[in-house]
Chain A
Amino acid sequence: MSKKILAMLLAAVMLLGTFGAFAEEVKDLPREETLYFGGQQWDPIVGYNPLGDNMNNGLILSAAPRGTRTVMFETLYMYNGLDGKLYPLLADGDYAWNDDLTVLTLKIKPAAKWSDGKPVTADDVVATWDVSTKIQNGTYTGYAPYIEGIENVDGAVVIKAKLNDEGKPANPLQVLNFLCGVYIVQKDWAEGLCAKHNDDQTAIRTDPTPDAVYSGPYGPYFANDQLVAFVRNDNYWGQDASMWGKLPAPKYLAHTIYKDNDATLVAFQAGQIDVNQQFIANVQKLWEEQGLPIATYSDEPPYGICATMPTAWYNMDIPVMQVKEVRKAIAMAVDYDNIIENAMTNQSPSFADVPRSVMNPTAGEQAMYDHEAVKDLQWVGKDYEGAKALLDAAGIVDSDGDGWREYEGKKISLKACCPDGWTDWQAAMNMVAEAGKAIGIEIIATFPTWDQYQTVFTKGAQTEYEIFMWSPAGAEPAAPWSRVRAFMSSEFVGVDNNWSGNFGHYKNERIDEIIKQIPLTTDEAELKALYTEATKIYLDEVPSFSLMYRPEVFHAVNETVWTGYPEKDDGNNIPPMDCTDGYGIAALYNLELVK
């Protein structure tokens, strides 16, 4: 008898469980009112805390000066990679530096309001900095070396730059990055959060804050392990004439959480994703052969705006990599055209079109160094004979006749690594390995998991990977200075958990001086001379070499439901940044239904 009761109880529990699963909050998302994204969110979100770390909320929390996603929380300015300018968002008009670049002043737009109706004020900016300082979050660690403090002076925001030993500002360019790279939070809300957790730093940083007060056009709608969605705040202040003058077109923004790239691509092809941030091999075949209503920024190669360059770094912690000739020889032997044609399927300009330097391929940066002065240092790639001659001359030869060259009596065997599943990078590493084979240096392409990879290459010292891939800073207010720094600054040598640059731990005193000098130089000719010298050192020493150019974010759209996305030469000056990043968010206001 008791067994029967037990069985029935169990059955009842299971039945209730099923109901429970169905009862889970799933709100309506009418297709004609929702803009679906792809390639931004791979796991369920953790929370909405703009002051926190690891919220894993791709659609709203992605703060990078090149294009901060201002869907829910907003920055003072928005960066536009197309013209390299800052456009005011919460800020009112242009910022102003004082003469010696130590104090930056800006005003807040009078129309700017929080989601609770209170106005955004200079006090909120001050509180953002003060609370970040208190809880030592990413904003603080990222900008504390450059910002002394922020004050409210008669309603204006005054940012004081940190001064170095010589009494000069540490880095005015990084202060500009702050303007477009940090979410501003409400003072009352932030202080309330601190009080709630008794100023416990970790507790504040990890609070998911689903009820956060925000200033952006969208707020939380719902999120589960399959989907995350945001709903438009119809009282959004941006509909004021001083900002956008209207509301963004889609009522909802949503992101289905797909298993992997393939699943995302299939959904994109089927029109279930409108805006896709994903590398798609042979993207042109989607419209040319499959006839799908899919478009990219431009329908001719490279299909988007390339602003960064995935780079192979040499690990200077390994003795053989300290030999300049080995570094240069490998770089000379790599077949870049093959990488660009086959690994990137032509979604990158070639190095013949845009010769290598410390600059990204945008016209603005290309004009910042003297192309003629570094011409002799360029290499074309696939130059096996030149590479072999260089190695022979340096005494790196194959003395035991096994087909592989030796260094100090030992066969040179290098590992070339990039994370598994990063398709175009994997193919590129394979081609680096092929180049090695052609010049008698054994290079083995290895693809560790992302988890493993990221802990190794960011170490202060590592001897696991001889060659590995990562991208330096792309387009941002501080570029190309930030890229020179990321390529060669010795400040990162020996720093653990280093995500900022010089992952190969290269050292050069002259370049360190240049890196110090550039931010304080305003004379254009002088600046150009410094950048040219930096490029010279980079091309001569080859501490790393770029394999291709690549967009910061991939941007492909399916026009089944929505249209009116940014396109090349449309005169709108909106960058193809997935309709959310930096000034790219302006695209949301131009969307229309296809009907």
Chain B
Amino acid sequence: MPIETDVAIIGAGPIGLFAVFELGLLDLKAHLVDILDRPGGQCTELYPEKPIYDIPGLPICTGQELTDRLMEQVKPFKPEFHLGETASALERLGDGRWKLSTDAGTEIVARVLVIAAGGGTFVPKRPPIAGIEAYEGRSVFYAVRKMESFRGKNILIAGGGDSALDWTINLAPIAAKLTLVHHRDGFRASQHSVNQMRELAAHGKINFEIASVKALYGENDRLHGVTLSSPSKGEWQHACDTFIPFFGLTIKLGPIANFGLNLTENLIAVDTEKFESNTPGIFAIGDINTYPGKLKLILSGFHEAALMAQAAFHICRPNEKLRFQYTTSSSSLQKKLGVAG
């Protein structure tokens, strides 16, 4: 059964979260979908500990702090999150509402769709090795979903972060052979994991090579091995049937590109009165939109969320009058926020 709500929001970054607040003040209920497994978007994924200095009234706060504060601010409105899911398809229903589907099978039916997806979807970085696409899904993987499917394999893991090390440690006992390849003898990972990996290598349970993967060879989608290269040892071939590169995430527009919206260089063109796209009922706010004078600032996204919410109200409640109120003086808004005296 699809979920029915007022507004479906793609993206649980700062702007998607603040949209929940502005919609909530107008009694509009929202569901959020985000590919990441926690709210905050780029703030928590890219710079959780980096200070932000241009949030009005908050002279300094980190990406994580801003997210935590927004989560606290939207709490009274009980938003529902669908995390770790990609908004994959959009359909217009006969009654004019939108049905948003995710890759996890969630279906959300809403009057209004708000796209607050920042730069788009976080996807694993694909190493620029010629022909790698042909092996994907059969011999090359960017994540480990079912550990069991890697049993008995001759695995090559590339990367020096926590994912690369964690999966090296976890897959070592079930792999026929496992090699970790990284371009330097240093890691961007917890010391505990690094120690564990070195222990496994010292006992011959895994191999660790300081090198880079230059080429892949095999037959159709079956990998037979890779060419490794290092400044000191030159190039050599390394046999393996499974290659798992872990180089973190990058941002691509993703399935939103197929929603039939007016795109300008991967951004959604909107008006500056409602921040609505060329399709009525679909709004775009934050870094994903474009209009004359657009500034990619969090504070601009907040403003866009407020104006979008006013327009969304008229679509969701066509027969009701919207009265503009301030949170400082309106007892009804204060009741919604749970702060009424």
Check if A and B associate.
Answer: no
